[in-house]
A = this chain, B = another copy of it.
């Protein structure tokens, strides 16, 4: 059968308690510690993490709940989170919700059952608004989206400013009929829309807004319908990388030349955005920083559960490329 701590204890000629202490950071004499380590090597002992978790009540696990890992934004953030977690000796359980509140609820319940150390969560607007500070049984940090003000720690982009910067840039280039295509499920998309509308108003321009499910296929369909109209916009702002990609596809299909027939500006400086001619103007999010900050906030919250709620707002960086150059 499997070798347990009792076998190690027997091999080392000490008690199981001493083995446990030698392996952890308990007080043990150097001689005994060496004996134990030798016994561990000799027996090929591997601690049973389930037993350890049960007894010590420290799951050493964090949950990472995102909409879809295939969204490059979440891919990058998740990588940062995992690096930080494993560096701290924590395991990561990854969950994809597809922006479905039912699956969000399911995974939150799973996190409770795992007795996780903490959770990093990108909730839909519906779930975020429904979650009060104490409805979650574990420390939680929201990323990308925030919920009720002051309810949860969060790290988000300054979406209003970022969207405004795109409008300013386009307006500065002389575009007037600037449309906005925004995701329909996240608070982030709402904020970007608000920033867009505020900036449009500043420039005395009429907003043109449409909402769409945040995936490339839906965005392509909606953009194609929009751009086929006679009074189509001459520039488009897209609220994330997937929607941006859909819009590029739609423009291609309709034979529109960028930026002559249509200017495009979006979010997420994904590796491909500078490869599609003439280069796509985007807001770059500090993805690694977002993941790292989220972990920092989570650790702080775990350490001092009662400290005031914090919201870290990071600035995007406008990467100006050919897609918004006035023909």
A contact residues vs B (CB 8 Å cutoff): 46-51, 53-54, 59, 68-70, 72, 75-76, 78-79, 82-83, 86, 91-96, 109-110, 112-115, 216, 245, 248-249, 252, 270-272, 275-277
Contact = CB atoms under 8 A, between A and B. Distances in A.
- Count of chain copies: 2
Contact of A275 (B48, B79, B114, B248): B248
A75 B50 CA distance: 28
A82 B51 CA distance: 25
A95 B112 CA distance: 22
A81 to B, nearest CB: 10
Given A50-B53, A51-B54, A275-B249, A94 B96 contact: no
B94 A271 contact: no
A274 to B, nearest CB: 8
Nearest to A54: B50
A93 to B, nearest CB: 6
A276 B271 CA distance: 12
Given A50-B54, A54-B54, A69-B82, 10 more contacts: A50-B50, A69-B78, A69-B79, A70-B79, A82-B95, A91-B110, A92-B94, A93-B93, A245-B275, A248-B275
